[in-house]
Amino acid sequence: MIRTWQLATGAAVVGLALSAGVVTAAGPWDSGQRKAERQWAASQDRTGGGHHGRSASPPPVSPPVSPLAPAPAPSAAGVLSALGTQAVPPAGAGPLAAALRPLLNVPALGTVQTASVVDTATGEQLYGSGAGEAMTPASTVKIATAAAVLSALGPDHRIATTVMAAPGADLKAGTRQIVLVGGGDPTLTARKPGKRGTPASGASLPALADDTARALKGRGIAEVTLAYDTSLYSGPEYHPIGAGNDNIARITPLMADEGRLDDSDAGVAPRTGDPAGDAARAFAGMLRERGIRTTGDPAPGKPAATAKPLAKSLSAPLSALVERMLTNSDNDIAEALARQTALAAGEPASFEGARKAVAAELRELGMDTKRTRFADGSGLNRDDKVSAAFLTGLLVRAADPARPQLRPVLTGLPVAGFTGTLSKRYGDGSPVGGLVRAKTGTLNGVNTLAGTVVDANGRLLAFAFMASGTLGKDAAESALDRLASAVTGVP
C-alpha cells in the first residue's frame, strides 16, 4: 500500500509540474506523450520524417483547440506563482548546496565527482560542482542519443523492414528472388504474438511473412529465392568492447529480437554471432509455413534496381523506441537510433557518422558541443565525454513546451523503485520512491545518474551527478541515490 501510494502521489506531483512547466496541450497519454500534443507537433511539419527543432529557441505557439476539447493547462507562470516558486531563493549557496556538498564528496563516489541541478522552468543552475567538466557518462549519454534522434526525425517516425521484389511480371517470369532489407530496427521480433518477451506493438517477422506470402500467392508464385540486405550500415559491426559481449549484439540493420538467444527482451543476454543471417533464416522458415517454398539457404544480396516493395513491417513510433531505450538502458536500440540520426543527416550509418550527426543535431538544439565526444550511442565506450551541465541542459530542453518532440526523453526515464534500471533501487519504504526519474550509467569505475525530480516547492528540477574512480558499484549507486533524494527536499 505504501508503494502504491508513493507512485500515485509521485505521478500526481510530476503531472502537476509537467502541466505547469512542460505540457501546453491537454489530452490522454499515449506512449508517454499526450496525443493532442503529438498531433499538434506533427501538424507543424507534414513531411512525416521531417526535421524538428531547427531553431535554438523557437517561439512558443499554442496548438489549435477544438471547442469540444478540454481547456488547456494553466500557464507555467500562473501555476508556478501559485505554488510559490517565485519566492524561492536561488539554492546555489542555500539549503540545497548545504544538503548536496557532504553527499557528493564521499569515498563511495571515487576520485572525481561533478554535479549540476537546474530549474527546468527558468534554466537557472541551482547547484553546480565541476558542472562543466567533461566526464565519461556511461549510459547517461543515451539522453543525448534520444534528444538527437527525436530532433532529427520526430517522435512519430517509424523504421521499416521491407521485402523487395522485381515488378510483378518480371518476378513471375524471372529468378523469383525476393530480398529482406534491413532498415535498422533492432526491435523487429521473430517471436509469435503472446509469447514471453514479445513486444506489444512494433515490427513483426511473422506478420511480415503473412503479408509476403499473401502477395506472392496473389501473383501465382509458390517458390522463391530469399536474399537479405544489410548494406544500410557501414563501418565496424562490432562495438569496441568486443565481439561476444552479452551487453550488445553485432551491429547490423537486420536482426530479430536484438540477436538474443534466450526469451529476454532487456538486460544482458547471450547473442548470436550472425543476427542478420539468423533473421533471414527464420523468415524463410515462416514463408515455408505459409506455403511459399524457398530454394537454398538465404544469402546476402541487394535488390535489383527495378525492385519494388512487396511487403513492409514498421517499428513502433520513435517515441516508444526512445522510451524503451531509456527505461531499460537498451544498448542495441541506442546504437540503432544513433545511426538513424546519421542517416537523417546524410552521414554514413556508422560509429563515425553517428558521432558527427548526433553532435550536429544537438548544436541545432542550442547545445555547446565543444567539449563533448559521442564515440557511440550507448555509452559503452569510455571515450564518450559530456559534462553534468550538458546533461541537465538536454533535460531542460526536453521539458521546454516549445519542443514537444523531445518529451519522450523525460517520459522514458526510469521511475525510482518501480521501472527499468531503477526498479530495484530506492527500496520499500523510501520516501522518494516514484518521485525520482533518472537515467542510470554504469561502467567499471564510472557511475552516473541524470534525471528529474519535483522538489518540495513544486519545481521540476533536472539533475546530473557523475563520478569516476569509483571502487564499488553498489556503494556508488547508493551514494548517487542519496544525492537525487536530497534534491527532492523530502526528509
For all residues of the chain together, what is the average pLDDT?
83
pLDDT at 174: 64
Q: How many CA atoms does the CB half-sphere of 178 hold within 13 Å?
A: 28
Element holding 453 (H helix, E strand): strand 446-454
Give the mean model confidence (pLDDT) for residues 337-346. 98
Given 151, 204, 313, 329, which residue is catalytic?
329
What's the predicted TM-score (pTM) here?
0.83
pLDDT at 46: 33
> Collapsing DSSP states into helix, strand and coil, what is residue 204?
strand
- Distance (Å, rounded) from C-alpha 396 to C-alpha 452? 9
> What percent of the chain clears pLDDT 70, i.e. is strictly above it?
77
pLDDT in tens, 352-410: 999 999 999 999 999 999 999 999 999 999 999 999 999 999 999 999 999 999 999 99
Beta bridge partners of 439: 450
> What percent of the chain clears pLDDT 90, i.e. is strictly above it?
71
Residue 151 a catalytic site member: no
pLDDT at 431: 85
Give the mean model confidence (pLDDT) for residues 419-429. 88
pLDDT tier for residue 71 given thresholds of 50, 70 and 90: very low
Highest mean pLDDT among 40-54, 92-106, 271-285: 271-285
Give the mean model confidence (pLDDT) for residues 159-177. 81
pLDDT tier for residue 430 given thresholds of 50, 70 and 90: confident
Query: Is the pLDDT score of 16 beyond 60?
Result: no
Residue 139 a catalytic site member: yes
Spatial neighbors of 82 by CB under 8 A, at least 6 apart, are none
The better pLDDT of the pair 179, 94 is held by 179
Spatial neighbors of 284 by CB under 8 A, at least 6 apart, are 226, 294, 297, 298
Query: Is the pLDDT score of 445 beyond 90?
Result: yes
pLDDT at 83: 30
CA-to-CA separations, 306 to 301, 303, 311, 448, 465, in angstroms, rounded: 15, 8, 16, 50, 54
> Collapsing DSSP states into helix, strand and coil, what is residue 466?
strand
pLDDT at 169: 58
Is residue 185 within 8 Å of 259, Cβ to Cβ?
no
pLDDT tier for residue 171 given thresholds of 50, 70 and 90: low
pLDDT tier for residue 49 given thresholds of 50, 70 and 90: very low
pLDDT at 24: 34
> Collapsing DSSP states into helix, strand and coil, what is residue 361?
helix
Residue 423 a catalytic site member: no
pLDDT tier for residue 201 given thresholds of 50, 70 and 90: low
Give the residue carrying C-alpha cell 525476393: 178
Spatial neighbors of 16 by CB under 8 A, at least 6 apart, are 79, 454, 458
Given 31, 116, 142, 468, which residue is catalytic?
142
Q: How many CA atoms does the CB half-sphere of 260 hold within 13 Å?
A: 22
- Distance (Å, rounded) from C-alpha 357 to C-alpha 115? 27
Query: Is the pLDDT score of 244 beyond 90?
Result: no
Query: Is the pLDDT score of 153 beyond 70?
Result: yes
Phi–psi pair at 47, nearest 5 degrees: -90, 5
Q: Which three cell numbers stand for residue 96?
A: 540545497
Query: Is the pLDDT score of 30 beyond 50?
Result: no
Query: Is the pLDDT score of 92 beyond 80?
Result: no
Given 139, 315, 378, 468, which residue is catalytic?
139
pLDDT at 12: 42
Give the mean model confidence (pLDDT) for residues 132-160. 98
Give the mean model confidence (pLDDT) for residues 298-321. 95
> Collapsing DSSP states into helix, strand and coil, what is residue 245?
coil
- Distance (Å, rounded) from C-alpha 257 to C-alpha 265? 7
Give the mean model confidence (pLDDT) for residues 454-471. 94
The better pLDDT of the pair 193, 123 is held by 123
Instruction: Lowest mean pLDDT of 1-15, 227-241, 367-381, name the range.
Output: 1-15
- Distance (Å, rounded) from C-alpha 47 to C-alpha 278? 34
